[in-house]
């Protein structure tokens, strides 16, 4: 079995119940949600999110709550030393997100490490460490933070596994830091997904296999090392279907949750067809999207 799903919406009126219904409609046994809009801080009280109803539906379909991944909003930038108020806002909001993630019943929150805003990578990394310690030292929720691999666009931190390892090494509660590998981001950062064994070996040497919590499975519109971060649909980009299929079925990653973040096609989600293709090795060109 592989644990494969996609990003799903969480919106009124059904909120989390609607998220699980959407995931099930795609034939998924995993999903990723935002607790609210990813580009702002507006959030509903957790008692309005229909969490109990969602968990009841999950139980009826043997949908493991540990396969719900929460993604932190993009407005969090812990690395921003240029505007410390924004960095502090990010830390405060991250602490709130950990609480919401725990209330939902999930145990993994994916976080973009942050952008140093031209202050330099080392300064950005030190600010990320400082803010993560500020948050985690005062937090006891049973939620891990999975730092996402980044493409190297602009002033992003976390473009190399070594940068992510430096962040983890500086965090007091290192046991709560995990890794989210994004295949598009890795490709755009210069890591060849065709040779995924070598990429995985580099990460496991630094973090251990047990600390790889999530894989975002995305094709890329860009050539290797482009540093642009533009997702493509499965089999429609420069990585290709076969390489992504091998990632999904990699024997060392059987217990790792895989999440699609591919673009909508003609206004419609492609996830049912892409999940089926990646699960059953169906030629992607036969998918009706």
Instruction: List domains and CATH numbers for the chain.
Output: 4-280 (3.20.20.150)
Tell me if 148 is assigned to a ligand binding site. Answer: yes
The mean predicted confidence, pLDDT, of the chain is 96
DSSP-assigned beta bridge partners for residue 258: 4, 215
Q: Is 185 annotated as a binding residue?
A: yes
Q: Is 112 annotated as a binding residue?
A: yes
201 is in an annotated binding site: no
3-state secondary structure 164-229: HHHHHHHCCCHHHEEEEEEHHHHHHHCCCHHHHHHHHHHHHHHHCHHHEEEEEECEECCCCCCCCC
| Listed range (34-43, 209-218, 221-230) with the worst mean pLDDT | 34-43
For the stretch 136-164, pLDDT in tens is 999 999 999 999 999 999 999 999 999 99
Percent of the chain clearing pLDDT 70 (strictly above): 98
pLDDT reported for residue 288: 44
**Has 231 been labeled as part of a binding site?**
yes
172 is in an annotated binding site: no
7 assigned binding-site residue = no
Tell me what pLDDT residue 285 has: 63
**pLDDT value at 283 more than 80:** no
- Of 155, 163, 74, 137, which Cα lies nearest the Cα of 111? 74
Confidence (pLDDT) at 31: 98
């Amino acid at each position: 079995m592989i644990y494969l799903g996609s990003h799903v919406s969480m919106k009124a009126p059904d909120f989390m119940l609607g998220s699980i219904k959407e995931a099930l409609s795609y034939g998924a046994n995993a999903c990723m949600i935002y607790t609210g809009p990813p580009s702002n801080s507006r959030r509903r009280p957790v008692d309005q999110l229909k969490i109990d109803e969602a968990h009841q539906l999950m139980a009826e379909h043997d949908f493991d709550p540990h396969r719900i991944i929460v993604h932190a909003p993009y407005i969090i930038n812990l690395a921003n030393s240029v505007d410390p108020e924004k960095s502090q806002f990010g830390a405060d909001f991250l602490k709130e997100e950990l609480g919401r993630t725990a209330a939902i019943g999930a145990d993994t929150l994916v976080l973009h490490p942050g952008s140093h805003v031209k202050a330099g990578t080392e300064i950005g990394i030190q600010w990320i460490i400082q803010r993560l310690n500020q948050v985690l030292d005062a937090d006891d929720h049973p939620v891990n933070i999975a730092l996402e691999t980044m493409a190297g666009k602009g002033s992003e931190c976390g473009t190399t596994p070594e940068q992510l390892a430096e962040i983890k090494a500086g965090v007091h509660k290192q046991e709560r830091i995990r890794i989210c590998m994004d295949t598009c981001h890795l490709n755009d950062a210069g890591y060849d997904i065709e040779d995924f064994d070598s990429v995985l070996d580099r990460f496991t040497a630094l973090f251990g296999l047990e600390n790889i919590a999530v894989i975002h499975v995305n094709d890329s519109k860009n050539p290797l090392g482009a540093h642009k971060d533009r997702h493509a649909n499965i089999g429609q980009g420069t990585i290709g279907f076969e390489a992504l299929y091998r990632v999904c079925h990699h024997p060392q990653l059987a217990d790792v949750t895989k999440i699609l973040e591919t673009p909508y096609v003609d206004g419609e989600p492609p996830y049912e067809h892409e999940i089926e293709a990646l699960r059953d090795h169906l030629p992607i060109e036969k998918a009706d999207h």
